[in-house]
Amino acid sequence: MASARVTGWPRSCPTCRTFPVAHYGILRAGGVVVPTNPLLMAREIAFTLRDSGPGRC
């Protein structure tokens, strides 16, 4: 089974109520969670995405 990497869903912050639900749902489905901080600069987010190699953003 192929795994997908998921990053940057709206309001992706660990303190949001939906984060744990989405996090474990993605893991349960066989995906890889790549959380991003919305306060990062564009170049930092670009590095994170390139480094993690997500299938879709």
In a domain, 57, yes or no: no
Mind listing the pLDDT tens digit for each residue in 2-53? 556 666 555 556 667 887 888 888 889 888 887 777 788 989 888 888 888 7
CA gap 18, 21 in Å, rounded: 5
Q: What is the pLDDT of residue 43?
A: 93
42 Rama class: left (phi>0) / alpha (psi -120 to 50) / beta = alpha
Q: What's this model's pTM, rounded to 2 decimal places?
A: 0.58
The pair phi, psi for residue 5, each rounded to 5°, is -105, 135
Could you list the residue range(s) of the whole structural domain that residue 40 is in?
Answer: 5-52
Q: What is the pLDDT of residue 1?
A: 46
How many structural domains is the chain composed of?
Answer: 1
pLDDT confidence of 57, banded at 50, 70, 90? Answer: very low
The pair phi, psi for residue 34, each rounded to 5°, is -125, 85
